[in-house]
A and B are shown apart, each in its own frame.
Chain A
Amino acid sequence: MVLRYAYLLRGSWARIAELAYWPTMQMLMWGLLAEFLAGHSAFFVRAGGVLIAAVLLWDILFRGNLGVSISFLEEMWARNLGQLFASPLRPHEWALSLLVISFLRTLIGILPAALLAIPVYRFSIFDLGPQLVAFFALLLVFGAAVGLAVSALVLRYGLGAESLAWVAVFAVAPISGIYYPIAVLPEWLQPVALALPSAHVFEGMRAALVDGVVDADRMIYAAALNFLYLGGGFVVFLRVFDIARRRGALLQMGE
């Protein structure tokens, strides 16, 4: 199945360009804002790269989600579910292939923006070192868990729900503390935010870039939460898949 999605990407330069286009534009825009703020704020003088790092890390989460849900939608648009599931392909094997292709799509999307930030803004996210690998993995897995849940919704309610693939992940954006600490949220909302792996990653990012410390506890907590979210995403996806078999939806789904 990974081969199927790789063929699809290889066959269209526009698809590959689209993967990198938005993260690059975002990085350039937020980089300019960071440069402006650095001239007016002592905080940004001290931690100039924090906005650029935030936008790059957010895009890992966003792309991780899209990588799963768009690959899933490709099968719906192609009316290919009947062919796939009359073959020996098992639903969990398909879901795993969606995670692998999500990883590849995210790398293709983020790497150009991360590399471009080095000459343009003299900021290298790679300076985060091993922490970057942890941030990347945690955000990718959380994005994939959201993507699986969104895919399950589309499988249950049809292509009328496909716009969720693009917008669903933004529900966690305000409370993930991408550009500001969780402490600025209303007190009652902070526990909700801390139930998200993404909130711990962005707090960890600020700890690394602003204070120069590695907050390992947060990473462990985020990994435990991810385990729950990804497990939940799988359970929901497989359950909805069973319902689709009962409803005959695997043959009917399509444009």
Chain B
Amino acid sequence: MSAAGAGNAEDGAGAAAIRVDGLFKRFDDIEAVRGLSFSVARGHIVALLGGNGAGKTTTIAMLLGLITPTAGRIEILGVDMIGNRYAVLPRMNFSSPYVDLPKRLTVRENLRVYGALYGVPRLGEAIGRISADLNLTALLDRPYGQLSSGQRTRVGLAKSLLNRPAVLLLDEPTASLDPETAERVRAYLSGYCRETGATMLIASHDMVEVERMCGQVLMMKEGRLVHDGTPAELIAAYGRDTLEEAFLAIAAGNGW
């Protein structure tokens, strides 16, 4: 296990960072994902949108290898994710407000454990750098469980950036952050992708965030991809004025 860092030249410029083909996932009698196909070019920031139950979380979990697809193919950085996930997992990472870190460990201990799992070289320096970038230095020796939800979101982001991933999957990256901190985090993430050539797939319900950060939008509904294009194309396709309105138009009928 080694942290290869983002933007490895051997990946081949221009190829897709994420390629999904004919992906299905069935849980007993529920079809969570139905024939999903899309690709994300290297160095791009792409939004994965959809209402509750659209299949976003299941899709991200399959991209991470946490859920085995019923059928279909996933390639990350040219590697078959289903058959050979450990070849590429060191170069990926993720953050989600719904997946916790151990609460009794301090922030520093959590970062050390995950840094070691990802094989991050010069881990102490890496923790110092990412903590300073995300304003976590003063929190390093506090137990994770004693932090506010906004602070936990930043710690999760620090964990996800520790190995300088080439592919970063983020589920609601600015959840629970105040507007000023959220804006700083968006700028930081965009800057990270620009500098390193990393690819980012973001699941978010914040349409302002999506418009600001993402050049491509994948819209899911009931397990299917219903739109793949730029935010402007999505707005135009549904004859609305904003991405928020277009999102509501597509997600309508999902019920509670």
Most chain B CB inside 10 Å of its own CB: which residue of A11, A84, A87, A245:
A87
B73 within 8 A of A: no
Inter-chain CA distance A86–B163, complex, in Å, is 13
Whole-angstrom distance from the CB of A58 to the nearest CB of chain B? 30
* B: number of interface residues (CB 8 Å): 36
B 87-110 to A, binary, CB cutoff 8 A, 1 in contact else 0: 001101110101111111110010
Q: Which of A38-46, A216-224, A246-254 contacts B (4 or more CB under 8 A)?
A: A246-254
B100, A83: Cβ atoms under 8 Å?
yes
User: Please, what's the 1-or-0 string for A53-82, where 1 marks a CB less than 8 Å from any CB in chain B?
Assistant: 000000000000000000000110011101
Contact of B66 among A1, A8, A245, A254 (CB under 8 A): A245
Please name the residue on chain B nearest to A250 by beta carbon.
B66
A11 and B100 within 8 A (CB): no
Q: State whether A86 and B114 are in contact (beta carbons under 8 Å apart), knowing that A8-B104, A12-B104 are contacts in the complex.
A: no
Across the interface, do A85 and B66 meet the contact criterion of CB distance under 8 Å?
A: yes
Please provide the chain A residues from 196 to 213 with a CB less than 8 Å away from any CB of chain B in the complex.
Answer: none
The reply to whether A245 and B113 contact each other, CB–CB distance below 8 Å, is no
List chain B residues, Cβ under 8 A from A119.
none
Q: Contact: A78 with B114, CB < 8 Å? A: no
Q: Is the interface of A mostly helix, strand, loop or mixed?
A: helix
Kindly provide the distance from the CB of A156 to the nearest chain B CB, expressed in whole angstroms.
15
CB nearest neighbor in B for A3: B113
A109 to chain B, nearest CB (A): 20
Residue from B64, B99, B117 within 8 A of A89 (CB atoms): B117
Given contacts A12-B104, A79-B100, A248-B58, contact A86 B64 (CB under 8 A): yes
Q: 1/0 contact trace for A159-181 toward B, CB 8 Å?
A: 00000000000000000000000
- What interface size band does chain A fall in? 20 to 34
| SS class, residues of chain B in contact with chain A | mixed
A130 partner residues in chain B, CB cutoff 8 A? none
Which residues in B have their C-beta under 8 angstroms from that of A254? 100
Q: Which residues of A contact B94 (CB under 8 A)?
A: 86
* Contact A88–B90 (Cβ < 8 Å): yes
User: In the bound complex, do residue B101 and residue A88 qualify as a contact, i.e. CB atoms below 8 Å apart?
Assistant: no
Q: For A1, what are the chain B residues with a Cβ–Cβ distance below 8 Å?
A: 113, 117
The answer to whether B99 touches A82 (Cβ under 8 A) is yes
Q: Which residues of B contact A80 (CB under 8 A)?
A: 99-102
Interface: B237 (CB within 8 A): no
- Cα of A248 to Cα of B66 in the assembled complex, Å: 7
Q: Which of these, A8, A87, A246, contacts B114 with CB under 8 Å?
A: A87
Nearest CB of A to B38, in Å: 20
Interface positions, chain A 1-37, Cβ under 8 Å from B, are 1, 3-4, 7-8, 11-12
Contact check, B66 vs A247: say whether CB atoms are below 8 A apart. Answer: no
- Known A-B contacts A82-B66, A245-B67, A245-B68; the reply to A88 vs B104 at CB < 8 A is no
- With an 8 A cutoff between CB atoms, is A122 at the interface? no
> In the complex, what distance in Å separates the CA atom of A130 from the CA atom of B104?
39
Residue from B58, B103, B105 within 8 A of A7 (CB atoms)? B105
- Evaluate contact between A87 and B68: CB separation under 8 angstroms: no
Q: Which of A235-255 contact B (CB under 8 A)?
A: 242, 245-248, 250-251, 254
Q: Is B5 an interface residue (CB 8 A)?
A: no
Residues of A within 8 A of B112 (CB): 3
Separation of A220 and B45 alpha carbons in the complex (Å): 60
A-B contact pairs, 12 of them (CB 8 A): A3-B113, A4-B102, A4-B105, A75-B102, A80-B101, A82-B66, A83-B99, A88-B86, A88-B117, A250-B61, A251-B61, A251-B98
Sample of 16 more A-B contacts, CB < 8 Å, known A86-B89, A87-B118: A3-B116, A4-B102, A7-B113, A8-B102, A11-B104, A11-B109, A78-B101, A79-B99, A82-B99, A86-B65, A86-B99, A88-B90, A88-B117, A88-B119, A248-B66, A251-B98
A-B pairs, top 9 by smallest CB distance, nearest first, are A82-B99, A86-B64, A87-B117, A88-B89, A4-B113, A7-B109, A78-B102, A79-B100, A88-B1
Q: Which positions in B face A, CB cutoff 8 Å?
A: 1, 27, 57-58, 61, 64-68, 86, 89-90, 92-94, 96, 98-106, 109, 112-114, 116-119, 143, 159
